[in-house]
Chains A and B, each alone.
Chain A
Amino acid sequence: MDVNAFLDGFGLVTEPQNLLYCLIGVLIGMLIGVLPGLGPAATIAILLPITYSIDPVSAIIMLAGIYYGAQYGGTITSVLLRLPGEASSVVTVFDGFALAKQGKAGTALGVAAIGSFVGATVSILGLTLVAPLIAGWALSFGDPEYAALALLGVLLVATIGNGNKLKAMIAAAVGLLLATVGRDSFSGAERFTFDSLQLTEGIDFVVVAMGLFGVGEILYNLEERHGKPHVPAAVANIWPSRKDLKQSSGAIGRGSVIGFVLGVLPGGGAVMSSLAAYAAEKRIAKRPERFGRGAIEGVAAPETANNAAATSSFIPLLTLGIPANASMAMLFGALLILGISPGPQLVEERPDLFWGVINSMYIGNLILLALSIPLVGIFVRILRVRPAILAPITALITILGVYTINNSTFDIFVMIVFGLIGYLMKKTGFEPGPMVLAFVLGSIVEDGFRRSMLIFDGDPTGFFTRPISGTILAAFVLVALWPAAKALLARRKTGSDDTSEPHVPAGHR
Chain B
Amino acid sequence: MTILIGYVPTPEGEAALEAGIAEAATHGDDVVIVNSGRRGATVDADLVDEPAGAELVARASAAGVDARVDRSLHGANVMDTFDALVESTGARLIVIGLRRRSPVGKALLGSDAQRILLDATVPVLAVKPAA
Contacts and interface: CB of A to CB of B under 8 A. Distances in A.
Interface of A: 35-36, 81, 83, 224, 226, 228-232, 380, 383-384, 386-388
Contacts of A232: 43, 45
By Cβ-Cβ distance, the 3 closest A-B pairs, closest first, are A229-B44, A383-B43, A229-B37
A35 B44 contact: no
Main SS at interface, chain A? loop
A80 to B, nearest CB: 8
A359 to B, nearest CB: 35
B75 to A, nearest CB: 10
B40 A384 contact: no
A380 B43 contact: yes
Given A228-B73, A229-B73, A386 B49 contact: no
A186 B106 CA distance: 66
A81 B44 CA distance: 11
Contacts of A383: 42-43
B70 to A, nearest CB: 14
Interface residues of B, number: 13
23 contacts: A35-B42, A81-B42, A83-B42, A226-B42, A229-B38, A229-B39, A229-B40, A229-B43, A230-B43, A230-B44, A231-B43, A231-B44, A231-B47, A232-B43, A380-B43, A383-B42, A383-B43, A384-B41, A384-B42, A384-B45, A386-B41, A387-B42, A388-B40
Q: Which one of B40, B41, B45, B47 has the highest number of Cβ atoms from chain A below 10 Å of its Cβ? A: B41
A35 B41 CA distance: 11
B45 to A, nearest CB: 6
A84 to B, nearest CB: 12
B41 A229 contact: yes
A384 to B, nearest CB: 5
A228 B41 CA distance: 8
B52 to A, nearest CB: 8
A387 B40 CA distance: 7
A231 B49 CA distance: 6
A81 B38 CA distance: 16
B40 A231 contact: no
B117 interface: no
A391 to B, nearest CB: 10
Interface string B18-41: 000000000000000000011111
Contacts of B47: 229-231
Given A231-B47, A231-B49, A232-B45, A386 B37 contact: no
